[in-house]
Structure 1
Amino acid sequence: WERVITEKERNLDFLKEVVNRIWKVIYGAARHVQAKFPVLATDKYPDFPETLQFFHAEEILDRFPDLPRKQRETRMLRDVAPGLFIIGIGWVLKDGYPHEMRAADYDDWAVETKGKNGQLMHGLNGDILVWNPVTRRRHELTSMGIRVTKETLKVQLKISGQEDFLNLPYHQAILNDEIPLSIGGGIGQSRTFMYLLRTAHLGEVTVSVWPRQLKEICASRNIHVLE
């Protein structure tokens, strides 16, 4: 999905507003599914979080400096909040590494922002992650962000050593103001179905080719893979 925005909307407050609107739809879908299939509204699992909590990747690193990235996310979701939006994915954090790599030519992860206590942060992008009580693991639903300007495109391509990309048609269109400012992202539909339907495997909600051994393992655990 993609939406045209104005220069004034290139800020954290607007990013959070859009994230909350997306989450409102997902939460509403969860309620609809539970009403349609009451068996899903079980005390076996905690209820869906009504709201997300927002944390910058730098704040999460501060909480768990000795853990690698995925384990930091897991601890946050398990111990702090079952629904998160992690801001600022792509910029190098204080440990010398980005929370996760991001392409240099779509999300803006370089622009300067301010943290909750006024500290310097970077990035107008992030991921929605939730705690999956079935798998007891982190579960990413969407990656999204406010897109680069021609200025931050140059900065990010320089950081990533890809300045030759500036000669390509898409990048030239950004530099020449032929593409409007926007916010956008991708929602993992199958992952979202897994989360809403409380399933343990992607194969329960989407048809694909799965190894015979995997199907046998799933069957032994009463996991019904679609064929």
Structure 2
Amino acid sequence: MSKTIIPEGYKSTLGVYDTQTAIGFIKRCFEEALTGSLKLKRVSAPLFVDRNSGLNDDLSGVERPVRFDVPSLETEGEVVHSLAKWKRMALHQYDFRQGNGLYTDMNAIRRDEELDNLHSIYVDQWDWERVIASEWRTEEYLKETVQGLVNAIVETSSRLHTKYPDVNVTIDSNVAFVTSQELEDMYPKLTSKERENAYVKEHPTTFIMKIGGALTSGVPHDGRAPDYDDWELNGDLLFWHEPLNCAMELSSMGIRVDSASLLAQLETANATDRLKYNFHQQIRDNKLPLTIGGGIGQSRMCMLLLGKAHIGEVQVSLWDEETLESCKNKIELL
């Protein structure tokens, strides 16, 4: 069965030409709003890292990175999954101070991704990271940062509507905060994705906190690598996406591990062997700055704000024949 959903009566508000113009407008507007809200500066970032550096993001631990040999260096490179670890090293190397941070364009290939309306093998996102003080490692500070991010999205949506009045997507600035355990308690018979849909439908802007550790059921809400987010101080930002009638995750973010939480989470994940890497040793020895950071999907945001039904309407990727046939004469893939 095809995983592509064609909403009944769906027709894109903007044609391909105007969509391309709108994508550029959204990206410019959001970067302006984001940098002002979170005090970030743009930096250049790698497309790949040394396989043996320990800097690649392991995501949920099962995805295979794209690897290639580099004969002149006698090593292998890996296309990044995200820049979660690299950013923290960069803040240290570039001498960023408390309260300031960086953002960058991140492009990646996730070859094991299952293709549907929200997922492709091509990933584009804004990766950001900010230096914080130890006393800021609190749930309250995390919530304040989430609200700042949402405000930037709302501002971008408002400016988009002014330029394209026919695009009538509305983003709720009121964030509902809920923990993954609270969701399981509310909907014990539903899967984690079903819980998200049930809750976000009633709370169209939602931040689900504390993702990574096992819940009362013994199963985590979702997978999370043990060596960047503190599982007690992280979360996912989701919005209700009307065309697909589902919750859409736009950002994964969190306060990063300190020495104590790194060691505890590596132990829980049976991943203490990662302490062989310089990155992990520097966190263990308190040599890297304390930070908060995350990734924000660029194509996802364009899809959300433009009311698109398929991510292929706002990015160029590869699609299987089943997807191409399902979308034919109904959804125009780039």
If the length of structure 2 is used for normalisation, what is the TM-score? Answer: 0.60
Paired amino acid for 2:212: G
Q: Mapping of 1:55-204 within 5 angstroms? A: 55-78=178-201, 80-109=202-231, 123-204=232-313
The aligned amino acid for 1:22 is: L
Amino acid at match of 2:291: S
Q: Which amino acid aligns with 1:173?
A: Q
Aligned to 1:54: 177
2:114 matches 1:14: no
1:174-197: CA deviations, max 9, x gaps? 112221000011111111110011
Structure 2 distance, partners of 1:216, 1:32, is 35
Structure 1 SS opposite 2:230: coil
Distance 1:215 1:167 in 2: 45
Per the TM alignment, residue 133 of structure 1 is displaced from its structure 2 partner at its CA by 0.2
Name the CA distance, whole Å, in 1 between partners of 2:130 and 2:293.
Answer: 6
Quote the Cα distance in structure 1 between the aligned partners of 2:284 and 2:233. 19
User: 1:218 maps to which residue?
Assistant: 327
Aligned to 1:27: 154
Deviation at 1:83, TM superposition (A): 1.1
Letter in 2 for 1:89: I
C-alpha separation in 1, matches of 2:158 and 2:196: 25
More displaced 10-residue stretch of structure 1: 83-92 or 201-210: 201-210
Q: Report deviation, 1:19.
A: 0.4
1 or 2, which has the higher helix percentage?
A: 1
Q: How many residues align?
A: 207
TM-score by length of 1: 0.88
Q: What is the letter of the counterpart of residue 96 of structure 1?
A: G
Give the 3-state SS of the residue equivalent to 2:249 in structure 1: strand
Distance (Å, rounded) in 2 between the aligned partners of 1:101 and 1:210: 26
Q: Equivalent residue for 1:205?
A: 314
* Distance in 2 between residues matched to 1:195 and 1:171, nearest whole Å: 36
TM-superposition CA deviations, 1:146-173 (whole Å, max 9, x none)? 0000111000000000111112111011
209-218 or 198-207, which moves further after superposition? Answer: 209-218
Deviation at 1:212, TM superposition (A): 4.2
My pick for the range that moved more, 6-15 or 89-98, is: 89-98
Q: CA deviation at 1:92?
A: 1.2
Partner of 2:157, secondary structure, is helix
Question: SS state of the match for residue 38, structure 1?
Answer: coil
Name the CA distance, whole Å, in 2 between partners of 1:162 and 1:213: 39
**Distance in structure 2 (CA, Å) of the matches to 1:66 and 1:210:** 34
Structure 1 regions of 5+ residues with no counterpart? 110-122
SS in 2 for 1:108: strand
Structure 2 distance, partners of 1:196, 1:55, is 24
Residue 77 of structure 1 and its aligned partner are, at CA, apart by 1.1
Tell me the CA shift for residue 31 of structure 1. 1.0
Q: Distance in 2 between matches of 1:215 and 1:81?
A: 33
